[in-house]
């Protein structure tokens, strides 16, 4: 039996993969698209913040009304204890778009994938890519379901693992060793804002979620986390209790669930694209959670990727692929410059290994390495 044939196979159905599918169906509707997603969107997902600027791209993707219908938790600013012991507010009211959102990520991702399917993409849930081989002018894909597909072009939207791209020889260039150790709390007050609080060995954040729960996380470097034994509940609780702002807000809720450790290092994939594949979202590059740009970046990269893919497959125009490579690099370099400036605003612990690493970071050296 001949495998089912598609023009574009997107491996991963998170925000980046779904945005690529949505934008491809609008930009190049003659192309057939399949989205291969390992989950059924039925388990919690890390990454909850959507900044005000996201409205523009959600409108561009044609999903603004379905998004609004989900009633994610609106937020009107952030707060931080950073560079000073005082809590400072940053209200969105002073920006053109004055509301952001804290998401039910599983519901948000499910909505995006469902809208892509409604627009003509094929959606395969509970399915993993087992193998991929190049044959002639197409890829032959073997799936966990036992099915086989053929595709002219592959999009790696598998997040931080970049499973397909690394199979093609790409590698990550890391800028740091950041990890997050997080836990959920039931309840936790009526303040939904992201609250960030620096401490000697890193920083904490907490945010109110749409279901009345709260997520709280400690962010530090992996080796420091091991030395401090932050993967142990008792040690994590002790450190949280010592945080004046994040600790006080978290204590208003009741802990639920285990500690979850998630890699959060800033990094970029090299190369980000080949002749018949490219990476989007966290598979292409990952930003520090401090930026609150992860989901927005994923959506944006999906849109730019769709233009490159559409132009290449429908007209044989390689210019879009070159532009996409430059876009990912320029975006990462711009982010890195901002990251350096923001971390250098915190000077209270000059002897701290965590802060010394960030104050000594050479942005030019990182750019040249990429």
pLDDT computed for residue 130 by the predictor? 97
Backbone angles phi, psi at 351, to 5 degrees: -90, -5
The distance in angstroms from the start CA to the end CA of the chain is 44
Q: Pick from 122, 147, 125, 121: which is nearest to 2 by CA?
A: 147
Q: Pick from 4, 207, 194, 223: which is nearest to 87 by CA?
A: 194
Per-residue pLDDT band for 189 (boundaries 50, 70, 90) equals low
Residue range 205-232: average pLDDT?
A: 93
Judge whether residue 91 has pLDDT over 80: no
User: What's domain 4-48+103-174+267-330's architecture?
Assistant: 3-Layer(bba) Sandwich (3.50)
Q: Pick from 57, 97, 315, 354: which is nearest to 218 by CA?
A: 354
71: which DSSP letter? -
Judge whether residue 93 has pLDDT over 60: no
What percent of the chain has a predicted confidence (pLDDT) above 90? 79
pLDDT digits (tens, 9 = 90+) for 15-63: 999 999 999 999 999 999 999 999 999 987 776 789 999 999 999 999 9
pLDDT digits (tens, 9 = 90+) for 102-153: 888 999 999 999 999 999 999 999 999 999 999 889 999 999 999 999 999 9
**Predicted structure pTM score:** 0.92
What percent of the chain has a predicted confidence (pLDDT) above 70? 94
Judge whether residue 325 has pLDDT over 90: yes
Residue ranges of the chain that CATH labels 3.50.50.60: 4-48+103-174+267-330
Residue range 313-321: average pLDDT?
A: 96
| Domain 178-263 CATH assignment equals 3.40.50.300 | no
The mean predicted confidence, pLDDT, of the chain is: 92
Q: Which residue has the higher pLDDT, 192 or 47?
A: 192
Residue range 298-302: average pLDDT?
A: 97
Cα–Cα distance for residue pair 352/199, rounded to 1 Å: 10
Judge whether residue 366 has pLDDT over 60: no
Q: Tokens representing 143?
A: 């799936």
Residue range 297-314: average pLDDT?
A: 98
pLDDT computed for residue 363 by the predictor? 46
Give the 3-state secondary structure of residue 58: helix
pLDDT digits (tens, 9 = 90+) for 261-297: 999 999 999 999 999 999 999 999 999 999 989 999 9
Judge whether residue 94 has pLDDT over 60: no
Cα–Cα distance for residue pair 338/304, rounded to 1 Å: 22
Residue ranges of the chain that CATH labels 3.30.9.100: 178-263
pLDDT computed for residue 369 by the predictor? 35
Backbone angles phi, psi at 215, to 5 degrees: -105, 135
pLDDT computed for residue 97 by the predictor? 66
pLDDT computed for residue 2 by the predictor? 66
pLDDT computed for residue 95 by the predictor? 59
């Amino acid at each position: 039996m001949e495998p089912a044939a598609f023009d574009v196979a997107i491996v991963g159905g998170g925000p980046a993969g779904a945005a690529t599918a949505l934008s491809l169906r609008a930009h190049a509707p003659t192309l057939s698209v399949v989205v291969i997603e390992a989950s059924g969107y039925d388990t919690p997902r890390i990454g909850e913040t959507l900044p005000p600027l996201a409205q523009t791209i959600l409108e561009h993707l044609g999903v603004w009304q379905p998004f609004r219908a989900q009633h994610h938790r609106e937020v009107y600013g952030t707060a931080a204890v950073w560079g000073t012991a005082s809590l400072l507010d940053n209200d969105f009211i002073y920006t053109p778009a004055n509301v952001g959102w804290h998401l039910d990520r599983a519901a948000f991702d499910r909505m995006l994938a469902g809208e892509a399917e409604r627009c003509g993409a094929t959606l395969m849930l509970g399915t993993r890519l087992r193998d991929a081989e190049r044959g002639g002018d197409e890829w032959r894909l073997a799936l966990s379901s036992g099915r086989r597909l053929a595709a002219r072009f592959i999009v790696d939207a598998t997040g931080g693992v970049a499973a397909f791209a690394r199979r093609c020889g790409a590698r990550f260039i890391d800028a740091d060793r950041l990890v997050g150790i997080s836990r959920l709390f039931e309840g936790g007050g009526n303040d939904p804002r992201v609250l960030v609080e620096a401490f000697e060995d890193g920083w904490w954040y907490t945010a109110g979620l749409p279901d009345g729960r709260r997520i709280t996380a400690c962010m530090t470097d992996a080796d420091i986390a091991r030395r401090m034994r932050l993967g142990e509940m008792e040690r994590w609780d002790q450190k949280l209790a010592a945080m004046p702002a994040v600790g006080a807000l978290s204590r208003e809720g009741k802990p639920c669930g285990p500690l979850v450790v998630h890699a959060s290092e800033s990094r970029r994939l090299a190369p980000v694209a080949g002749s018949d594949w490219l990476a989007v979202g966290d598979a292409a590059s990952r930003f520090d959670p401090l930026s609150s740009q992860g989901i927005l970046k994923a959506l944006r990269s999906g849109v730019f990727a769709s233009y490159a893919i559409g132009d290449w497959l429908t007209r044989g125009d390689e210019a879009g692929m070159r532009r996409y490579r430059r876009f990912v690099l320029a975006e990462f370099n711009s982010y890195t410059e901002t990251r350096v400036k923001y971390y250098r605003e915190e000077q209270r612990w000059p002897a701290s290994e965590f802060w010394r690493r960030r104050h000594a970071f050479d942005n030019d050296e990182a750019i040249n390495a990429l």
